[in-house]
Amino acid sequence: MTPASNTSPTPVAHTLRRRRGLTQQAAAAAVDQACRRLRLPTIRALVDQAVTAATKEQLTYHGFLAELLLAEVDDRDRRSTLRRVKAAGFPREKWLGDFDMAANPAINPATINELATGDWIRKGEPLCLIGDSGTGKSHLLIALGTTAAEHGHRVRYTLATKLVNELVEAADDKVLAKTIARYGRVDLLIIDELGYMELDRRGAELLFQVLTEREEKNFIAIASNVSFSGWTDTFTDPRLCAAIVDRLTYHGTIIETGTHSYRLAHGRQQALS
């Protein structure tokens, strides 16, 4: 036998013939072991149930195999979705279906439904939610981010002050480029509570670097309780402020959530229902 013949794969038909003599108990053990080695936990968990269902419904061999493989694929997708949502770092769970549109008439439901499709993420267009505290900005940011993660996008949520502090520490530790690159790789970066605190020039410049890294490549969404005209109080350098506003608004969607408290209105709606 030549060395080449030693490395040739075993014909599938030969493998099937070799397994014909397995007892039902041995076959079950072989399936269990194979599922462990191939990392197919869903098939391993459902195979007995699937065999019973296939016998009852008289499925063909192909139908039985398809049911098992599709169950594994569906469960793997579900686990991947849960990992992406967890990796996003959301502070709490929020869903678009739970947002009471009637509690804040300033928000156009059609706009939110369009954003939920995720086209803006694929195009790398920014989203800005501007409005007073309690008007639903964070709820929408987290809910849209969760939807994006469910659609397969890599998402990262952070508070503006937390991000700036992380960037300052990274610069001091001489790992700034690595940190900025990490934020540049996610498909959607969500920065909440931008404008709540004044940023010194260094912090603003570092934040600007992150925005520049993501410009027209990956999407960014922010929420602020201050209108753009008031951002000079947050970014004390007027030229830097103008550049940041430009990065966040160019080809972007701006949603003004208004001044009336969503939390209060939503609470009243629930009390009346």
Residue range 55-69, pLDDT digits in tens: 888 888 898 899 999
Q: What whole-number distance in Å separates Cα of residue 118 and Cα of residue 139?
A: 17
**pLDDT grade for 239, boundaries at 50, 70 and 90:** confident
**Does the pLDDT at position 114 exceed 90?**
yes
**Least confident window among 3-17, 42-56, 137-151, 176-190:** 3-17
**pLDDT grade for 184, boundaries at 50, 70 and 90:** confident
Q: How many CA atoms lie within 13 A of 191 on its CB side?
A: 24
Q: What mean pLDDT do residues 148-169 have?
A: 94
**Does the pLDDT at position 83 exceed 50?**
yes
> Average pLDDT of the chain?
86
Q: What mean pLDDT do residues 36-45 have?
A: 91
pTM for this predicted structure: 0.78
**pLDDT grade for 244, boundaries at 50, 70 and 90:** confident
What pLDDT sits at residue 1?
Answer: 45
Q: What whole-number distance in Å separates Cα of residue 25 and Cα of residue 256?
A: 65
Sequence-ordered list of residues with C-beta below 8 angstroms from that of 224, at least 6 positions apart, any chain: 128, 129, 130, 137, 193, 194, 195, 231
What pLDDT sits at residue 267?
Answer: 53
Contact status, residue 170 vs residue 202, Cβ threshold 8 Å = no
**Does the pLDDT at position 15 exceed 70?**
no
**Does the pLDDT at position 268 exceed 70?**
no
Q: What percent of the chain has pLDDT over 70?
A: 86
Q: What mean pLDDT do residues 109-115 have?
A: 94
**Does the pLDDT at position 256 exceed 70?**
yes
Q: Where are the alpha helices (DSSP H) in the chain?
A: 3-7, 12-18, 24-38, 41-57, 61-87, 109-115, 119-123, 137-150, 160-172, 176-185, 201-214, 238-249, 262-272
**pLDDT grade for 263, boundaries at 50, 70 and 90:** low
What pLDDT sits at residue 237?
Answer: 83
What pLDDT sits at residue 125?
Answer: 85
